[in-house]
Amino acid sequence: MKILVVDDEQDVKTLFLQRFRKEIKTGEMDFDFAFSGEEALTYLNQNSKEAVLILSDINMPGMSGLELLKHIKQEFRKPPPVVMMITAYGDDENFNTAKSLGADDFLTKPVDFKVLKEKLLQK
Amino acid sequence: MLLALTFCSLFAGSLMAQQQVDATKQKANALKAQLNRATSDSSRARLATQLSTTYRLLIENDSCKKYASLAIPLTNKFTTINNNSSIATKHKMIRAKAIENLGSVLSYENTTLGLDTLNVALRLWQETGNKPGIAMAYFTLAQGYGYKGDNLQAIEYFNKSIKLFEETNNKYDKASALISLGLEKRYLGNYGDALESTLKSLQIAKEIRDTTLMTDALLANGFNYMLAKSYPEALQDQRKALELYKLTKDSVGIARTYNDMGVTDMFANKLDDALINYKKALALRKKLGDVSGIGYSYSYISRIYKMQGKFEEAITNTKEGIKYALQWGDIRFIIDGYLDAGDIYLELKDYENALTNYNTALDIAKENKAFNYQAISLMQIGKVHTNSGNTKKALVALQMAEQVVLPRDYKTRRSIYDRMKDTYVKDNDYENAFESQFKFQQMNDSVNAAEKAEKITALTQQVIYENKRALQKASQDKEIAIQQSQIKQQKLIRNISIGGLLIVIGFAFVFFMRFKEKRKLNVALEESLFDLKATQKQLIQSEKMASLGELTAGIAHEIQNPLNFVNNFSDMSNELLDEMEAELDKGDIEEAKTIMADIKQNLEKINHHGKRAEGIVKGMLQHSRKSTDEKEPTDINVLADEYLRLAYHGLRAKDKSFNATLKTNFDETIGKIEIVPQDIGRVILNLITNAFYAVNEKKLAVDKDLTGLDSYQPTVSVSTKKLNNKVEISVKDNGNGIPQQVLDKIFQPFFTTKPTGQGTGLGLSMSYDIITKAHGGELKVETKEGEGTEFIIRLPIN
C-alpha cells in the first residue's frame, strides 16, 4: 500500500519511517512525503495511476490541508483516493468541514501510532 | 502611603555597625593617601578600584562613582595588549571590578544604563574565569534587576550567584544573597519560599557566627512571618534579633527592630504594644539624631493614636513628625504629614485647622507639580466644606480636583466622582448627581480592568518563568543523554526525561495554583502596594502583557508540535533499543549499528525540538521587557520592518493557515531619528496587529463558504516617507474599514470592538499618547467602509 504523508514539519518523515519500520521492511506499506499542499498536488499529478492513501495535516502555510482535500475530492480523478486528515485542533468546525469535503477519516494530534496503524491496515 | 514608605525603610537591607563604618572610613583615607603617592598607571588603577569598592560598601555613591570612573580608563592599555599573560588577566580583573562598582551605583540611580554596565562587567569577569568575581557580578546584577522591579530576573541571578558562592565556599556572601533572594520571593507573594530562603541564610549566619547577617536574616524572617499572619513567630524572631543587637550595642539596629516589632503589633491589632515599641524606637533614634527615622516614628505613633480614637495625642505627634519631615526634605513625606494633620482635625470637627493643613498640603503639592497630591488635598478641602454644610464650596473644590487629576489616575478620579455624587445629592441636584454616579461607574470599571490586567501580568510572568525552567532542564537532560550514548554505546537510554518534563510542568502548575491562593490571601496588602505604583506605568505594562496574553494561545499551540516530537522520538528510541538488544543477541552487529545510528539521530532531534520550544518561550519574554523611556537615534525603517515580521509571525503562530501579502515601501533617505524605540515599536506593532486582525476578519467572512477562496487577497502595507521636517509612517490594510459610528471612539481607553476578553481596549489610546504626548507627533486615521483603513503617524524630526 502506498501512503502519501503531507505535513510542513520535515521531521515527520523521519518519524514515520521509524514508526513503520517493520511494515516498510516487509513491503506491507510504502511511504512518500510532501511538505506542502502544493507539493502533494504535484506528486498526485505525476503519479496519477497509482492507488494512494493520503494522510494530511490541516494547518499548513500556503495551501491548507482542507484546500488540498477539496482539490483532491472535487477536482481529481475518479474514484478519488482515500484521505485522512490530521489536526492539532480537535474542534468541531474543522471536523465538520473535513467531513463535508469528503474526508474518509479524522485524527487529532498527538497522533496515536497504534491507532493509525490499525486504521491504515483496515483501508 | 505611609505604609508604603515604611516598607522602603525596612527593606533597605543590611546596615553596617558603627565600628565597622569607622574602620572602613579609615581604610578609605589610607587608600586615598596611597593613591596620591602612586605614580604608575597600574597601581593607580588598582588603588582607585579599591577605593571605589570601599565607598560602595559605605554606600557613598558619588565617591564610588568618582573613583571607578578614574580607574576604568587607566586599565585600558593593559587589557588590550597581550591578552593571555597573567598581568593582563590581573588588570582585566581590576577593570571588571571598577566597571562593576560603577554599574552598581548607576543601577541604583538609573537602572537601564546600570544594568548594561553590569553586563559588561559580568562578561569581563567571565573572560578572566575568576569565580568569586563572577559570583559577585551576578549578585550585583541581581540587585540591579531588583531596583528595576524585575523580580524574576533578580531571582535568576541571585540563584546563579548563590551557586557560585557555594562552589567557592563563600558563606558570608551566600547568606546575604539568600536574604536578598527571600526578599524578591516576598515581593512576588511567595512567603513560604521567602521564608525558606531566609531560614537557610540564618543557618549559615549561625554557622559562621556573623551577628550582622544573623540579625538581617532574623528580621527578614520576622517580616515574612508577619506577612503570612504568623504574628507570634514574627515577634519571636524579632526578639532574637533584638537580643543580638543589644549584645553588639548596635543602637541603629535596636531602633530598627523595635520599629519592626511595632509594625507586627499593629498588624496583629495589638495597638498598646505597638505604641510601646514605636516609642522605644523613637527614643533611640532621637539619641542617634536620625532625622528620617524620628519622622517615621512620630507618624507611626500618631497613626496608632488615631486608630485608638485619641485625636489630641495623634495631632501632637503628627506635628512633631512634620517638623522632622521638613528637616529631612522629602516632599511626599511632608505632604503626607499635613494631610494626616488635616484628617485628624476633621475628626475633631475643627474645620478651620483642617482647612489650614489641607491648604498647606495643596500649596506644597502645587509648588512641586505633584498632581495626585493636589487632587487629594482638594478632595479633602471639599470634605471639610461638606461636613460644615457648605455644599457649594465643596463642589467648587471637587471640580478643581477633577481638573488637576491626571487623566490616567483612575483611582483618584473614582474617589472624586464618588464624593461629587454624594455632595450633589446633599445639594438636591439629582441630575448632576446622576452624571457623577455614571462617571464613577466608568472609573470603577477602569480601575477593575487595570487591576485585572495587572494580576494576569503577574500570573503570566510566573507561568512563563516556570515553563522556561522546565524546558531548559529538558534540553540539558537531553544533552547529557547524547554524551552518555557516545561513551557506552548501548543499553543506556532509559526514561528520557519525558517523565521529568511532565513532572516539572506539573510542578509549574501546582506552583501556579499555590501562587494564586497566596495572592488571594494577601489582597489587603496588595492594595496598598498598588497605590504606590504610578498608574500610567502600570497600564503600559498591562497592555503589553495583555497583547502577550492574546498571543499565548497561539504560542502554546506552537510549543505543542516540538513537544510531540520530543515524546515520539524518545518513545521510538526506547523501542529501538530493545530491537538493538535483540540484534546483538543474534550477533548481527551491522544491524545493531544501524539501529544505534537511528537512536543517536533521535536524540539529536529531541534536543533540537527542546531548543525550539525554548526559543519560543524566550521570544515571549523579550516582548514583555520594560521600556527605558529614553530617546535614541533610531532607523525607523529597520524598526518598522522588524515589528512587521514580529506581528506576522505572531499571527501565524496562532493560525498557520492565515496568509497575507506584506507590502513595504521604505524611504531610504530618512536616516536616524530621535525616538524611544520600544515605545514607537509598540505603536507600530499595535497598528500592524490591528491591520492583520482586520484583514483576517474579512478573510474569515469570505471563507465561510469555501467557494470564495481566491477572490480576496488580504494585504497589509507599511510605508515610510520623509516630509519637510517630519517623518510619516503609514500602516494600511484592505480589511472592512471602521464604521463611522465607532470612528470617534477608537482612541478612547478601554474601547474595543473585539469580543469580550480578547482586547484590552488600551492599544490605540496608548499609541495615541505615545505619539502625541511623548513624541509631539500626530496619529491620524483614514478609513472607508468595506475598503480598508490607513493609520498615519507623523513624527517631527529633532
Measured between CB atoms, which of A11, A66, A113 is closest to B565?
A11
Question: Cβ of B659 under 8 Å from any chain A Cβ?
Answer: yes
Best of B706, B711, B713 to disrupt the A interface (most A CBs within 10 Å) is: B706
Burial class of residue B662 in the structure, from the number of CB atoms within 10 Å of its CB (0-12 exposed, 13-18 middle, 19+ buried): middle
Task: Report yes or no on B510 lying in a domain.
Answer: yes
Report the DSSP beta bridge partners of residue B794: B728, B778
Q: Last residue of some domain: B107, B139, B163?
A: B163
Partner-chain contact B609 A11, CB within 8 Å: yes
| Average pLDDT across chain B, whole number | 80
Burial class of residue B710 in the structure, from the number of CB atoms within 10 Å of its CB (0-12 exposed, 13-18 middle, 19+ buried): exposed
Comparing B483-492, B659-668, B775-784, the range with the smallest average pLDDT is B483-492
* Residue B207, pLDDT score: 87
Comparing A34-38, B107-111, B471-475, B783-787, the range with the smallest average pLDDT is B471-475
- What φ, ψ does residue B38 adopt, rounded to 5°? -65, 140
Partner-chain contact A101 B565, CB within 8 Å: no
Closest alpha carbon within chain A to B599: A18
Task: Report yes or no on B105 lying in a domain.
Answer: yes
Mean pLDDT of A23-46: 91
CA distances from B589 to A19, A21, B584, B585, B600 (A): 22, 18, 6, 9, 16
Question: Any idea what the Cα angle at residue B55 is, between residues B50 and B56, rounded to 5°?
Answer: 95
Residue B77 reports pLDDT greater than 60: yes
Partner-chain contact A15 B709, CB within 8 Å: no
CA distance B219 to B234: 8
The domain tally of chain B equals 4
Question: Cβ of B273 under 8 Å from any chain A Cβ?
Answer: no
- What φ, ψ does residue B489 adopt, rounded to 5°? 65, -20
* Residue B490, pLDDT score: 40
Comparing B322-326, B370-374, B659-663, the range with the smallest average pLDDT is B659-663
% of chain B residues with pLDDT over 70: 77
Comparing B60-64, B176-180, B271-275, B500-504, the range with the smallest average pLDDT is B500-504
3-state secondary structure of B795: strand
Residues B711 and B780 in one domain: yes
Residues B129 and B24 in one domain: yes
* Residue B374, pLDDT score: 92
Phi-psi region of B614 (alpha: psi -120 to 50; beta: other; left: phi over 0): alpha
Pairing of strands B726-733, B788-796: antiparallel
CA distance B606 to B713: 38
pTM of the model: 0.44
* Residue B2, pLDDT score: 34
CB B330 within 8 A of CB B368: no
Residues B614 and B748 in one domain: no
Min distance A116 CA to chain B CA atoms (Å): 14
Closest alpha carbon within chain A to B595: A18
Residues B25 and B117 in one domain: yes
Measured between CB atoms, which of A59, A70, A110 is closest to B564?
A110
Pairing of strands B788-796, B778-784: antiparallel
Question: Cβ of B606 under 8 Å from any chain A Cβ?
Answer: no
* Residue B372, pLDDT score: 84
Q: Which of B391, B412, B653 is nearest to B536 (CA)?
A: B412
Pairing of strands A2-6, A52-57: parallel
Residues B614 and B706 in one domain: no
Partner-chain contact B709 A67, CB within 8 Å: yes
Q: Which of B183, B251, B186, B254 is nearest to B217 (CA)?
A: B183
Query: Higher pLDDT residue, B527 or B768?
Result: B768
Q: What is the DSSP string of A52-121?
A: EEEEEES--SSS-HHHHHHIIIIIS-SSPPEEEEEES---HHHHHHHHHTT-SEEEESSP-HHHHHHHHH
* Residue B497, pLDDT score: 45
Partner-chain contact B602 A66, CB within 8 Å: no
Size of interface A-B (CB pairs under 8 A): 50
* Residue B162, pLDDT score: 94
Write down the residue that cell numbers 501632637 correspond to.
B316
Q: Last residue of some domain: B343, B368, B386?
A: B386
Best of A13, A15, A57, A115 to disrupt the B interface (most B CBs within 10 Å) is: A15
Which residues in A lie closer than 8 A to residue B709 (C-beta atoms)? 67
Sheet holding A82-87, edge to edge: A30-34, A2-6, A52-57, A82-87, A105-108
Band of pLDDT at residue B188, cut at 50, 70 and 90 = confident
Query: Higher pLDDT residue, B538 or B573?
Result: B573
Min distance B370 CA to chain A CA atoms (Å): 53
* Residue B495, pLDDT score: 42
Q: Which helix (H) or strand (E) holds B716?
A: strand B715-722
pLDDT one-digit tens code per residue, B97-125: 999 999 998 887 766 788 888 998 999 89
Partner-chain contact A70 B706, CB within 8 Å: yes
CB A50 within 8 A of CB A59: no
* Residue B133, pLDDT score: 92
B/e letters for B126-148, b = 16+ CB within 10 Å, e = fewer, are: eebebebbbbbbbbbbbbbbbbb
Task: Report yes or no on B305 lying in a domain.
Answer: no
Residues B477 and B593 in one domain: yes
Residue B607 reports pLDDT greater than 50: yes
Partner-chain contact B709 A11, CB within 8 Å: no
Task: Report yes or no on B524 lying in a domain.
Answer: yes
Task: Report yes or no on B773 lying in a domain.
Answer: yes
Residues B644 and B611 in one domain: no
CA distance B504 to B373: 47
CA distance B220 to B177: 13
Query: Higher pLDDT residue, B386 or B756?
Result: B386
Please state whether the peptide bond connecting residue B132 to the residue before it is cis, i.e. omega within 30 degrees of 0: no
Residues B357 and B473 in one domain: no
Band of pLDDT at residue B82, cut at 50, 70 and 90 = low
CA distance B684 to B728: 12
Residues B604 and B718 in one domain: no
Query: Higher pLDDT residue, B182 or B747?
Result: B182
Q: What is the DSSP string of B153-188?
A: HHHHHHHHHHHHHHHTT-HHHHHHHHHHHHHHHHHT
Most confident of A68-82, B514-528, B540-554, B695-709: A68-82
Band of pLDDT at residue B631, cut at 50, 70 and 90 = confident
Residue B37 reports pLDDT greater than 60: yes
Question: Cβ of B557 under 8 Å from any chain A Cβ?
Answer: yes
Task: Report yes or no on B737 lying in a domain.
Answer: yes
Measured between CB atoms, which of A19, A60, A109 is closest to B564?
A109
Q: Last residue of some domain: B163, B180, B200?
A: B163
* Residue B17, pLDDT score: 60
Band of pLDDT at residue B442, cut at 50, 70 and 90 = confident
Q: Which of B248, B258, B260 is nearest to B224 (CA)?
A: B260
Which residues, at least 6 apart from B508, have a Cβ–Cβ distance to it below 8 Å? B463, B466, B467, B469, B470
B/e letters for A25-47, b = 16+ CB within 10 Å, e = fewer, are: eeeebebbbbbbbebbbebbeee
Min distance A4 CA to chain B CA atoms (Å): 20
Min distance B601 CA to chain A CA atoms (Å): 9
Partner-chain contact B568 A110, CB within 8 Å: yes
Residue ranges of chain A whose CB lies within 8 Å of a chain B CB? 8-9, 11, 14-15, 18-19, 58-62, 64, 66-67, 70, 88-89, 97, 101, 109-111, 113
CA distance B106 to B104: 6
Min distance B572 CA to chain A CA atoms (Å): 7
Domain membership of residue B340 as a residue range: 330-386
* Residue B654, pLDDT score: 65
Residues B483 and B594 in one domain: yes
CB B498 within 8 A of CB B562: no
Q: Which of B142, B165, B160 is nearest to B152 (CA)?
A: B142
3-state secondary structure of B297: helix
Task: Report yes or no on B315 lying in a domain.
Answer: no
Residues B737 and B603 in one domain: no
pLDDT one-digit tens code per residue, B285-342: 999 888 888 998 999 999 999 999 999 999 999 999 999 989 887 777 889 899 999 9
| Average pLDDT across chain A, whole number | 86
Mean pLDDT of B609-613: 86
Domains and their CATH numbers in chain A:
2-89 (3.40.50.2300)
Closest alpha carbon within chain A to B708: A67
Helix axes B351-367, B371-387, angle to 10 degrees: 160
Mean pLDDT of B474-480: 53
Residue B574 reports pLDDT greater than 90: yes
What is the longest distance spanned by two Cα atoms in chain B? Answer: 104
Print the SS3 string covering A26-66: HCCCEEEEECCHHHHHHHHHHCCCCCEEEEEECCCCCCCHH
Residues B593 and B646 in one domain: no
Residue B452 reports pLDDT greater than 80: no
pLDDT one-digit tens code per residue, B237-252: 999 999 888 888 888 8
CA distance B291 to B323: 10
Min distance A89 CA to chain B CA atoms (Å): 9
Query: Higher pLDDT residue, B679 or B323?
Result: B323
Task: Report yes or no on B18 lying in a domain.
Answer: yes
Number of residues that make up chain A: 123
Mean pLDDT of B386-390: 90
Domain CATH code at residue B723: 3.30.565.10
CA distances from B42 to B27, B74, B604 (A): 20, 7, 49
CA distance B795 to B683: 12
3-state secondary structure of B217: helix
